[in-house]
Amino acid sequence: MELCLQERLVVVAGGSSGIGLACAQAFAGEGARVAIVSRAHARLEQAQRECEQAGLQVHAFAADLTDADQAQAVIDAIIARHGAINVLVNSAGAATRHPVGQLTPAHYLDAINAKFCPCINTQHAVLAHFLGQPQPSLRAVVNIVGIGGKVAMPEHIAGGAANAALILTSQGLAQAYGREGIRINVINPGFTLTPRTQATLERMAQRSGESLEQVLAQQQALIPMGRFARAQEVADLALFLASPRASYLSGAVINMDGGAYPGA
């Protein structure tokens, strides 16, 4: 299927690792011009090297997206260097999981700052840019959030609350800006094979006293499809949602959980 993404400018927030990096590689593979944003300089450099080794080009920009001023400044810098943005993929930020008995009010604020703020800050800057330009043929946002925003999980309450806020915000903005030709959609991955998931599994193994292999097998057994998602699978959906092929799809929330939570 031709996705019509050649030469479009795509910004991937959180594009230096995991799902974000998979998205950056996927868009670059479709011929898009790709800018990745992360606050970690070392990870940005590593991501660029990985892309170059695969014959792909991405442009790296460093910013702490939890800071609204830095988010605005980096979007301004990308526009100044590469021109009008067509697509924003938000994959930045991740809230720390805490056992419910250890949760404090501060943990909820930390989760908002870690996950909600990077997405909202970057999205706000890009939406202002979209609204300030003559309407092009493609203006799309894909927010990669997480199944915890739809399904309550005792070990992920604070992060899940931040995710739920992102889902509601995405749907509300999709309604508000649909007449402007702006589409906003959400992907909710479940467990996905990324460095962050690896770290989560290691913590689970430490708490349970079981091996990492045992914990992985147990978690995968809970999924009807019998395995975790691959980051590339999430990226493939992001490609479609951002492309003109999904031109009548906005405000959608798509769960990618291998069938673990039907109806969520």
Q: What pLDDT is stored for residue 153 in this prediction?
A: 87
Q: What pLDDT is stored for residue 155 in this prediction?
A: 82
The domains found in the chain, sorted by start residue, are 9-256 (3.40.50.720)
Q: What pLDDT is stored for residue 134 in this prediction?
A: 82
Q: What pLDDT is stored for residue 247 in this prediction?
A: 96
Mean pLDDT of residues grouped by 10 in the chain (264 residues)?
A: 95 97 98 96 95 96 97 98 97 84 90 95 98 87 96 89 97 97 97 87 88 91 94 98 97 96 87
Q: What pLDDT is stored for residue 232 in this prediction?
A: 97
Q: What pLDDT is stored for residue 11 in this prediction?
A: 98
Q: What pLDDT is stored for residue 115 in this prediction?
A: 94
Q: What pLDDT is stored for residue 94 in this prediction?
A: 81
Q: What pLDDT is stored for residue 181 in this prediction?
A: 95
Residues in Cβ contact with 248 at an 8 Å cutoff, skipping those fewer than 6 apart:
none
